[in-house]
Amino acid sequence: MTLPPFELHRPRTVEQATELLERHGEDAAVHCGGTELLLLLKLGYAAFGHLVDVKGIGELRGIRAENGELVVGSAVTHRELERSPLVLERLPALARMERRVANVRVRSVGTLGGNLCFADPHSDPATFLLALGATVECRAGGAPPRRVPVGDFVLGPYRTALRPAELVTAVRIPLPVPGSGIAHAKLSFHERPAATVSVLVRLGGDAVAEARVAVGSVGARPVRAAQAETLLAGAPLSAQDALGRAAELAAEASEPVDDANGSADYKAQLVRVLVRRTFAQAVADAAGHG
């Protein structure tokens, strides 16, 4: 397999990148890691005359804590996230999730922004970020940035809410409050998730004060299981019947589809099992951070 010919551009600002994308239109694609884009080009599933490499744009780099959020530049790699001292201190669950993305070769090159923009339905980060209520910061040219919740950013397989010539500049992740716990679990075949579940729990005594349940990799896009969250909120920690019903509601909300990883029924069962498992892990994590 060989790459088709293309011209590589390396802008140093968002404004320069926007100008290139506007000039070349549909014949241009953004390159930010390229672990999936270059494979598509090699396989002949896509062709672009121009690749706009945004990894050299300083605005898209770096990780910082700001106003109760972790702000991750879109060109930060998965490997940087899993090893960042700030992430390990302030949001270790993010580092744990990133540590299991694909393999070390992919993590060393692939970026968080590139992962979200590619919108592969079989992916870890979007599910995790959805449970935490993260937002995607986007900007084109000299326009002010706009913020889009992750749940509204990923529209479907390989479709996002990005506007023409717009870049993702950062991902803003709210830091959990004390008494909260986070867990992420998945089942993978050949390093591609067949089911991903992320749960955030905030405890109030011996009961659940708040629960967020996100499910991905089984349907067209990651989703929050709102009915499951409502059922769990206020439930005693010992209420296994409520947890079983919540797992069932999460499986229904995920709208699993048949694909090479298994039937919809099989993937629904995976969701039920993973919801139970991640809920228990999140509760344990919350108890340790009370």
- Among 3.40.50.2000, 1.20.58.760, 3.40.640.10, 3.30.390.50, name the CATH number for the domain at 180-283: 3.30.390.50
- For the residues of 1-50, what is the DSSP string, one character each? --PPP-EEE--SSHHHHHHHHHHHGGGEEEESS-TTHHHHHHHTS---SE
According to the model, what pLDDT value does residue 290 have? 59
How far, rounded to the nearest angstrom, does the alpha carbon of residue 162 sit from its chain's CA centroid?
Answer: 15
Class of residue 66 by CB neighbours under 10 A (exposed 0-12, middle 13-18, buried 19+): exposed
Residues with Cβ < 8 Å from 74, sequence gap 6 or more? 32, 54, 60, 111, 112, 113, 114, 116, 167, 168, 169, 170, 171
Confidence of residue 192 (pLDDT cuts 50, 70, 90): confident
Residue whose tokens read 């090893």: 83
CATH architecture of 58-174: 2-Layer Sandwich (3.30)
pLDDT tens for 238-279 read: 999 999 999 999 999 999 999 988 999 999 999 999 999 999
Q: Considering only the C-alpha atoms of the chain, give the largest distance between any 2 of them, rounded to a whole number of Å.
A: 61
Beta strand 50-53 with 7-9: parallel, antiparallel or unpaired? parallel
According to the model, what pLDDT value does residue 263 have? 96
Domain ranges for the chain: 7-53, 58-174, 180-283
Task: Give the integer Cα–Cα distance in Å for 194 and 176.
Answer: 27
According to the model, what pLDDT value does residue 289 have? 74
Identify which of 249, 275, 281, 252 has the alpha carbon closest to the alpha carbon of residue 264. Answer: 252
Q: Residues 56-83: what's their mean pLDDT?
A: 98
Identify which of 55, 48, 35, 53 has the alpha carbon closest to the alpha carbon of residue 6. Answer: 48
Domains 58-174 and 180-283 share a fold: no
pLDDT tens for 108-138 read: 999 999 999 999 999 899 999 999 999 999 9
Confidence of residue 288 (pLDDT cuts 50, 70, 90): confident
Q: Mean pLDDT of all residues in the chain?
A: 96
Residue whose tokens read 């499986």: 251
Copy the structure tokens of residue 215: 């499910």
7-53 carries CATH number 3.30.43.10: yes
* Amino acid in the structure at residue 222: P
Q: Residues 188-216: what's their mean pLDDT?
A: 95
According to the model, what pLDDT value does residue 227 have? 98
In the chain the beta strands, taken as DSSP E runs, fall at 7-9, 28-31, 50-53, 63-66, 69-73, 135-139, 146-149, 154-156, 159-160, 167-174, 180-189, 192-204, 207-216, 223-224
